[in-house]
Amino acid sequence: MGDADPTRMHRISAENERIVDLVLDYSRRRILSNDTPLDKPAPPAELRRLAGRTVTEQGLGADRALSIFEHVLAPACITTDHPQYLSFIPVAPTKAATAFDLVVSASALYGGSWLEGAGAVHAENEVLTWLAAEFGLPEGAGGVFVQGGTLGNLSALVAAREEARRKLDERGLPHPARWKFVCGAEAHSSVASAARIMDVEIVQVAPDSGGVLRGDAVAAALEEHGASVFAVVATGGSTNFGIVDDLAGIAEVVESHDDVWLHVDGAYGLAAMLSPLARPHFAGIERADSVIVDPHKWLFAPFDACALIYRDPAAGRRAHTQHAEYLDTLTASTEWSPSDYAAHLTRRARGLPTWFSLATYGAAAYREAITTSIELAHRIAAEIESRDGLTLVREPQLAVVVFERDGWTKADYDVWSQRLLDDQLAFVTPSSHAGRTNARFAILNPNTTFEHLTGILDTMR
């Protein structure tokens, strides 16, 4: 130990120059690859056998470590930007966004405060301001990029409850024995997670027969639960079906209750507003108190980023600013510090890949790419309806297509899904609704083609 060089890992040296060259060469090959396989998970015992022990006292060296990653570990991860990755909600980062993610790490940026990262925060805020304008929110709306939709929903709901508390305190009124928020039965699982973390009660409201949460149903829930309700959560594109709630009807109801906050979870679907094909579905979004949308979904950024936008950012800051003696120099300032607007403190400037990609390609390219996905969803839905033995469960509103193979059980779907992955044809996991198993295409990647999808349908025999 006494002869070890404590600066070895950090100084400029031939060893570290080689490490950087190895990593950049691999990254360039991966980013520009046209034939990255879909890949699939491997059993734990197989990974232990192939990788061996990688964390050792003396280290393996960069060549060996990178080789293990490239040839053992990476192939055991499904390629999420593959055009035939159609499960959950895929990711399809632009080449510019992916490349710039390297720059963000290489630049040693801290994205938590204006003091330490003014340039990065400025760029992130330009994207947030652009999104807010696209969604019709007023001038001055803003927020922060957080890790994902779960943290975005949680942070928005914490701000909503704090506002309700503040208003009651200003009037000298007591707080309810149990705080509640209203949401649809089809709301994302992260909404229920937020309720558990906050120790509040969810009032789940049944949607209409088409899966849409309507204003009249929300009105009935608010009437029943009264002043204990601090927020209503609407969905701007559900994960399972891509359904957009009746945002205008819900907003009208919420606006008649002064102390209720309207939050719209648009993690997956809200980006569809960039397309003229989908924009009408989101009428009423401009009346929300907060919204989220995930750039790592339909805004073509790498993992992980969720844009949380407040109509009045001061409400977010009141709820989330952390106070400590060593933070006084930040919290005493009026400058925009992203750490003040969500349940976090340390943060990377995760909005910068989105900024660079938008600045590089322009917003029109995004509109075209999103429109292409929506058009493809409607085209494959029509194809499904035309095929014997297949049933379209619901006409797609955005770009999620759900369908059934007549007569199949869950076991049939499971076998089919595994065969698709084993054959490296596609990653399509079964889903379900109302107790019925189904298949589901989440179409997001502009490189996904009609022929890819029909080829998958051809295997359902």
Residue 180: the pLDDT is: 98
Q: How confident is the model at residue 325 (pLDDT cuts 50, 70, 90)?
A: low
3-state secondary structure of 139: coil
pLDDT band at 372 (very low <50, low <70, confident <90, very high): very high
Q: By percentage, how much of the chain surpasses pLDDT 70?
A: 97
Average pLDDT over the chain, rounded to whole? Answer: 96
Q: Say if residue 346 is exposed, middle or buried (CB neighbours under 10 Å; 0-12, 13-18, 19+).
A: exposed
What pTM, to 2 d.p., does this model score? 0.95
pLDDT digits (tens, 9 = 90+) for 373-427: 999 999 999 999 999 999 999 999 999 999 999 999 999 999 999 999 999 999 9
What does the pLDDT read at residue 357?
98
- Quote the pLDDT of residue 326: 60
- Give the separation between CA 380 and CA 384, rounded to whole angstroms: 6
Report the pLDDT value the prediction gives residue 333, as an integer from 0 to 100.
72
- Please say if the pLDDT value at position 2 is more than 80: no
pLDDT at 104: 97
Is a pLDDT exceeding 90 seen at residue 324?
no
pLDDT in tens, 135-174: 999 999 999 999 999 999 999 999 999 999 999 999 999 9
What pLDDT is attached to residue 335? 86
How would you classify the pairing of strands 431-433 and 436-442? antiparallel
For residue 110, the 8-state DSSP code is -
Per-residue pLDDT of 92-107, as tens digits, reads: 999 999 999 999 999 9
Check pLDDT > 70 for residue 327.
no
Question: Residue 273: which of 358, 137, 367, 152 has the closest Cα?
Answer: 367
Residue 323 has pLDDT above 80, yes or no: no
Contact 305, 296 (CB under 8 A): yes
pLDDT at 309: 98
pLDDT tens-digit series, residues 242-283: 999 999 999 999 999 989 999 999 999 999 999 999 999 999
